[in-house]
């Protein structure tokens, strides 16, 4: 007997981020809309919040802790000069308000240590929040980066932060543990079994995929959309035996289009 499907809301990164980081009014609105069912997130969504937000907060901690940085304002100025995109947005989204709420003076060197302590508390609480507030789907992709522990001693947080960043940013090791490839192969097995060959265009902007139904589909790499399907076999019975310079993928694609090699298709 198969298990009953899980009933609940499955959040993507944008909704989870809004629940955690938007204005209090909007958070309350979202929570009201989602009260009738359990809320679930996947390991990948959890990892993405850590990557796009929490890692930046920890990195800002190290900027603020530099000997050359005397005040909170100096740290914000350095960060703003270095980053202009998502890294800057991650810091400006919450941290200035966090310091203002505690009435920290951005120009007073004496408030630097208070800000570092406050950041440590915030980072630990946020990490705990994203790991306990939502139900995890326990998906079979086994995202190793989402499972990297953040163990920090409040009195000496720097070593713990460094260990976390080193392990989280070790994408080679994390990807070696990841099972997303296996997950996709199982999830889309029927589609993959129909796929005969894949080849990229010279400018890497188009992918041509050949299928066992004797069609060629052209895909836009940037959008992921199929913009043309070729059903004809323009190279029917064209003998490509001995032609040099063709890759295995190109040979396979030509065969789908009707070409042959000595010894059979």
Model confidence over 118-159: pLDDT tens digits? 999 999 999 999 888 888 876 666 677 888 899 999 999 999
Q: What is the DSSP string of 140-189?
A: TT--TGGG-----BTTBHHHHHHHHHHHHT-HHHHHHH--HHHHHHHHTH
Q: Which has more confidence, 265 or 180?
A: 180
Closest by alpha carbon to 145, among 174, 165, 176, 124? 174
What pLDDT does 1 receive?
A: 43
Summarize pLDDT for 157-206 with one digit per residue, the tens: 999 999 999 999 887 777 666 666 566 655 665 665 555 566 777 777 77
Domains in the chain (CATH in brackets) are: 9-183 (no CATH), 192-256 (2.40.10)
44 touches 51 (CB < 8 A)? no
Which pLDDT does position 12 carry in this prediction? Answer: 86
The tokens for 28 are 């309350």
Between CA 78 and CA 9 the distance in angstroms is 40
- Residue 188 C-alpha from the chain's centroid: 21
Average confidence (pLDDT) over 89-110: 92
């Amino acid at each position: 007997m198969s298990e009953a499907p899980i009933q609940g809301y499955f959040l993507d990164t944008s909704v989870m981020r809004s629940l955690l980081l938007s204005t209090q009014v909007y958070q309350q609105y979202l929570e009201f809309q989602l009260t009738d069912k359990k809320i679930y997130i996947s390991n990948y969504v959890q990892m993405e919040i850590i990557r796009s937000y929490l890692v930046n907060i920890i990195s800002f901690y190290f900027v603020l802790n530099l000997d050359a940085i005397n005040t909170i304002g100096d740290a914000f100025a350095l960060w703003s000069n270095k980053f202009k995109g998502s890294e800057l947005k991650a810091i400006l989204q919450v941290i200035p308000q966090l310091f203002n709420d505690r009435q920290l003076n951005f120009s007073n060197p004496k408030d630097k240590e208070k800000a570092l302590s406050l950041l440590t508390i915030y980072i630990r609480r946020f990490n705990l929040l994203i790991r306990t507030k939502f139900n995890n789907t326990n998906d079979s992709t086994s995202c190793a980066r989402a499972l990297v522990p953040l163990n920090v001693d409040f009195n000496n947080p720097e070593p713990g932060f460094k260990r976390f960043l080193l392990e989280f940013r070790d994408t080679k090791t994390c990807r070696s543990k990841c099972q997303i490839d296996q997950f996709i192969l199982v999830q889309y097995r029927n589609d993959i079994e129909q796929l005969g060959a894949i080849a990229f265009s010279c400018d890497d902007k188009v992918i041509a995929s050949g299928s066992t139904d004797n069609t060629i589909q052209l895909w836009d790499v940037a959008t992921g959309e199929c913009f043309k399907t070729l059903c004809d076999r323009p190279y029917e019975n064209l003998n490509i035996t001995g032609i040099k310079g063709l890759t295995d993928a190109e040979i396979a694609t030509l065969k789908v289009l009707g070409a042959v090699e000595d010894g059979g298709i």
